[in-house]
């Protein structure tokens, strides 16, 4: 009869202590989003597979959680058909999947409600997503994304404000970060400049390894990937580029500035850096030509935010996409957005011990229960405390004093209120401050005043 | 290429206007839960099917959304086996399901972490649940539950406090309600008293129809369900019972008070009413012997909260369960809880027009964008407003004035801030109050003061 309870691998339960910390992160992000005029939306956990499939590459399709059609899902399906027998039955018995990210459902949302939305549309969305990834440290099958996107505006001020949001969020969370910035048009410009416009992906993958494997190995890899010797040679000054972001931009102008797309990318990055330089940000930001980011819907700016002083890398990322709503039938609506990874941020804050000690989520005062008469005496005061906005409770039964105090202790309740026979007779309370152990006996009508000041 | 986007039937998107209202409901409920010392937990959307199956009756099992095993889910499964061919393949290709409610996952949670939890454990949980129900008005396949439960305490003070929570929540939402209260032990006592202890369900179903079909039809139905003439006769004084809750309790004592379980139930209800009568509640509450509630894990008190003056009935329900953790291997941990139906509450508030007009979630001030120079002038003040806690934004490009004002209008932004050439020259802003149409020109450094007072 008794089952040993467990949860699916890669998923997690969150108890009260963890929830309080997670909510601190969510609240911080949410408040910043709101401060910048972003409005909340929510979409269903399930989307039609037609909405999800083909948006995240072949690998992404495999990682979708699919939901069995309900009812008699085999009805009308020929289980003897070759397609079924070959094991390729998923598509015939499953029409829905769990969302894989928040960006594609958002694009679907924008297209579906385009007539009700006033553009530019600034929305934020904080919801879980699901991926059938192999679970490992820091990688889960259910995790939250916190996204802010604006669609229907080409202005680079949006990009700059997103970096400002990053600055505000991590400033409030006290996490030191650097924002790596690149632009897909610059990457395309590089590929075009060296005469391999179709090898953009190969080139960025190789560049990305520069720090790890060194220039010689990078060049060998480029060669293996079929990049011509001439192209590799033209790439060398770009790989060896030094200096700060402005110096790199200047140097690039002399190289890829001659390609149309490269020139456009450089112009965009310059405008963005002009904005950022005027904004007095606390975080640092830099052009990073090795930043490519996997999602292939990006067309302009790309961001990645790295936390400093920790092993965990990226805590936030994003970019501009010009054509995401196009796949759902609404072309020419450019968007740009960022996504905060709440779970990564949680891990960083744990590692650096950055969570605030106190939060308002816990109980502040516990009435000890000495028995029916004393309980009756306490209940109206308990109500008064709650009406005064103080989170408080009474132990529900007259259990051993030791057990009740241990409960207060384990729940980190700072104030315990006692009313035994004596206090009831004198209309008093004895208030015990758990941390110091101090206690004082006061007249009952002074209780609220004492606890609110 | 272009797909016509849609979402699965029975699911919903929530745009900004609806989200603000929904969040108002969630925040109200959450704050009351916290005020009473309940702590948040969250559990995964997916549970193992072994956790879910068999907990909600046969009907519930059918309504579970099942998730296809990921990867090559047919590997190792004999598709020629009779079990597979007969269509009964769900169990071999699906091991996980979406949670159906929050109570069973909570019971699983309590058992799984019993060594880390200090009892009594007061938790709240606000998360979506999924049921493959036939979609219809007011019934969805994805909807939120807002649950508060306390486990590990038998005290009836818990029941009383849950009614107090109901009073606080609906008081704050300005919904008039009545709490119907019954006790499973009283129902068992009635069944025992009339000599049909095993017909409890038949009897309560029949009683439930009294208002609709009248006493003669109820008696005929009881007869059809195999209840003896003698039992039906003994039931009559209970069906015809009049008076207020206390009078009914007194009358019942003369009848079912002779049965052990009935006496226990009456004692519980009396204690609960004693608590409630001392609590000065705003809502009304009454003993309702016709209240049975479907979920068969209830063993003591049962509640149902009905909104007055609307067609929609139940907005909240709950009860005590003595054995829910027992099925996961932890017996003798009694619990009691309530569940608020956020979607029902939303519908009631819409129907009665109870949502507050203003909320803090929207943008308060919009800077009109007149061009690059003016934008540059505005940006530092925009930052100052945000730092002062004012949700504000700038239109991201120098679009037509008309378009920018329409944007403010559609987003319900109350204040529009203008800085054209003249204002920039004189270090001023013109502030336009959208509702009245009034506008005033002020020195730039007075902006924050004007908008915060």
pLDDT for the residue numbered B229 = 93
Q: Which residue has the higher pLDDT, B452 or B157?
A: B157
Is any Cβ of chain B less than 8 angstroms from the Cβ of A383?
yes
Q: What pLDDT digit, counting tens, does each position of A28-37 carry?
A: 999 999 999 9
Across A324-334, average pLDDT: 91
C-alpha dist (Å) from residue B324 to A14, A99, B296, B331, B336:
20, 32, 10, 8, 10
Q: What pLDDT digit, counting tens, does each position of B132-159 carry?
A: 998 888 789 999 999 999 999 999 999 9
Using the predicted structure, report yes or no on whether residue B260 has a pLDDT greater than 70: yes
Give the rounded percent of residues in chain B with a pLDDT score beyond 70. Answer: 93
pLDDT for the residue numbered B78 = 58
Q: Which residue has the higher pLDDT, B183 or B327?
A: B183
Q: Residue B372: closest CA among chain A residues belongs to which residue?
A: A157
Give the number of beta-carbon pairs within 8 Å between A and B: 287
Reported confidence tier of residue B89, pLDDT bands at 50, 70, 90? low
Is any Cβ of chain A less than 8 angstroms from the Cβ of B12?
yes
pLDDT for the residue numbered A89 = 57
Q: What pLDDT digit, counting tens, does each position of A332-382 carry?
A: 999 999 999 999 999 999 999 999 876 656 899 999 999 999 999 999 999
Chain A residues whose CB is inside 8 A of the B128 CB are 45
Reported confidence tier of residue B201, pLDDT bands at 50, 70, 90? confident
Is any Cβ of chain B less than 8 angstroms from the Cβ of A171?
no
Instruction: Among A35, A132, A360, select the one facing B386 at the smallest CB separation.
Output: A35
Domains and CATH numbers, chain B: 177-307 (3.30.930.10), 365-451 (3.40.50.800)
Mutant choice from B21, B33, B44 vs A, greatest count of A C-beta within 10 A: B44
Is any Cβ of chain B less than 8 angstroms from the Cβ of A138?
no
Strand partners for B126: B146
- B8 and A47 in contact by Cβ < 8 A? yes
Chain B nearest-CA distance from A409, in A, is 10
pLDDT for the residue numbered B86 = 47
Chain B nearest-CA distance from A67, in A, is 4
Chain B residues whose CB is inside 8 A of the A21 CB are none
How does the average pLDDT of chain B come out, rounded?
90
CA separation for the pair B30, B285 (Å, rounded): 23
Q: Residue B280: closest CA among chain A residues belongs to which residue?
A: A380
Is any Cβ of chain A less than 8 angstroms from the Cβ of B329?
yes
CA B424 and chain centroid, separation: 52
Reported confidence tier of residue A136, pLDDT bands at 50, 70, 90? confident
Reported confidence tier of residue A279, pLDDT bands at 50, 70, 90? very high
Reported confidence tier of residue B1, pLDDT bands at 50, 70, 90? very low
Chain B nearest-CA distance from A193, in A, is 32
Instruction: Among B1, B46, B95, select the one facing A11 at the smallest CB separation.
Output: B46
CA dihedral B222, B225, B231, B236 (to 10 degrees): -10
Q: Which residue has the higher pLDDT, B294 or A274?
A: A274
Q: Which residue matches tokens 């030094």?
A: A242
Across A312-328, average pLDDT: 90
Which letter does DSSP use for residue B325 in this model?
Answer: G
How does the average pLDDT of chain A come out, rounded?
90
- A41 and B128 in contact by Cβ < 8 A? no
- Helix then strand count (H, E) for chain B reads 18, 16
pLDDT for the residue numbered B81 = 57
C-alpha dist (Å) from residue B303 to A248, A320, B314, B317:
69, 52, 10, 5
Reported confidence tier of residue A452, pLDDT bands at 50, 70, 90? confident
Chain A residues whose CB is inside 8 A of the B2 CB are 326-329
Backbone angles phi, psi at A139, to 5 degrees: -125, 125
CA separation for the pair A273, A181 (Å, rounded): 10
CB atoms within 10 A of CB B91: 11
Contact (CB, 8 A) for A337 and A148? yes
Chain A nearest-CA distance from B299, in A, is 19
pLDDT for the residue numbered B361 = 65
Q: What pLDDT digit, counting tens, does each position of B379-436 carry?
A: 999 999 999 999 999 999 999 999 999 999 999 999 999 999 999 999 999 999 999 9
pLDDT for the residue numbered B85 = 47
Across B343-366, average pLDDT: 87
Q: Which of B200, B171, B174 is nearest to B355 (CA)?
A: B174
Is any Cβ of chain B less than 8 angstroms from the Cβ of A239?
no
Reported confidence tier of residue B88, pLDDT bands at 50, 70, 90? low
H or E stretch including A224? helix A210-224
Reported confidence tier of residue B197, pLDDT bands at 50, 70, 90? confident
Strand partners for B305: B179, B316
Give the rounded percent of residues in chain B with a pLDDT score beyond 90. Answer: 74
Residues 6+ apart with CB under 8 A from B28: B169, B172, B173
Instruction: Among A48, A84, A153, select the one facing B7 at the smallest CB separation.
Output: A48
Is any Cβ of chain A less than 8 angstroms from the Cβ of B281?
no
pLDDT for the residue numbered A360 = 56
- B118 and A411 in contact by Cβ < 8 A? yes
- A363 and B391 in contact by Cβ < 8 A? no
Chain B nearest-CA distance from A378, in A, is 12
- A361 and B154 in contact by Cβ < 8 A? no
Q: What is the b/e burial string over A168-195, where b = at least 16 CB atoms within 10 angstroms of the residue's CB? A: bbbbebebbbebbbbbbbbbbbbbbbbe
CA separation for the pair A181, A300 (Å, rounded): 11
């Amino acid at each position: 009869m008794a089952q040993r309870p467990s949860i699916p691998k890669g998923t997690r339960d969150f108890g009260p202590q963890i929830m309080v910390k997670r909510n601190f992160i969510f609240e911080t992000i949410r408040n910043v989003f709101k401060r910048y005029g972003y409005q909340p939306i929510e979409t269903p956990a399930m989307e039609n597979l037609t909405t999800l499939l083909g948006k995240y590459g072949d690998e992404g399709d495999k990682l979708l959680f699919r939901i069995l059609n309900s009812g008699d899902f085999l009805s009308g399906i020929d289980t003897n058909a070759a397609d079924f027998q070959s094991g390729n039955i998923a598509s015939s018995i499953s029409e829905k999947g769990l969302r894989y990210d928040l960006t594609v459902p958002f694009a679907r949302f924008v297209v579906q409600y385009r007539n009700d939305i006033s553009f530019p549309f600034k929305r934020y969305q904080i919801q879980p997503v699901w991926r059938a990834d192999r679970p490992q440290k820091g990688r889960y099958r259910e995790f939250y994304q916190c996204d802010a996107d604006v669609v229907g505006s080409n202005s680079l001020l949006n990009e700059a404000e997103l970096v400002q949001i990053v600055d505000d969020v991590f400033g409030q969370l006290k996490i030191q970060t650097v924002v790596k910035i690149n632009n897909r048009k610059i990457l395309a410009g590089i590929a075009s400049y060296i005469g391999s416009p179709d090898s953009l992906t190969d080139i960025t993958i190789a560049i990305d390894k520069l720090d790890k494997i060194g220039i010689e190995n990078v060049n060998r890899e480029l060669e293996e990937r079929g990049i011509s010797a001439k192209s590799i040679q033209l790439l060398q000054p770009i790989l060896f580029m030094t200096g700060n972001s402005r110096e790199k931009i200047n140097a690039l102008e002399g190289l890829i500035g001659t390609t149309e797309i490269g020139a456009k990318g450089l112009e965009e990055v310059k405008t963005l850096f002009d904005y950022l330089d005027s904004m007095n940000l606390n975080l640092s930001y830099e052009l990073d030509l090795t930043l490519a980011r996997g999602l292939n819907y990006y067309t302009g700016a790309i961001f990645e935010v790295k936390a400093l002083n920790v092993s965990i890398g990226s805590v936030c990322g994003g970019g501009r996409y010009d054509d995401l709503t196009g796949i759902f039938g609404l072309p020419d609506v450019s968007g740009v957005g960022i996504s905060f990874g709440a779970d990564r941020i949680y891990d960083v804050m744990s590692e650096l011990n950055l969570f605030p000690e106190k939060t308002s989520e816990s109980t502040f005062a516990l009435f000890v229960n000495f028995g029916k008469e004393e309980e009756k005496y306490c209940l109206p005061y308990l109500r008064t405390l709650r009406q005064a906005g103080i989170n408080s409770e009474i132990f529900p039964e007259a259990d051993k004093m030791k057990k009740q105090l241990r409960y207060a202790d384990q729940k980190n309740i700072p104030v315990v209120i006692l009313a035994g026979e004596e206090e009831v007779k004198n209309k008093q309370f004895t208030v015990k401050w758990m941390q110091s152990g101090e206690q004082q006996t006061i007249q009952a009508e002074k209780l609220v005043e004492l606890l609110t000041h």
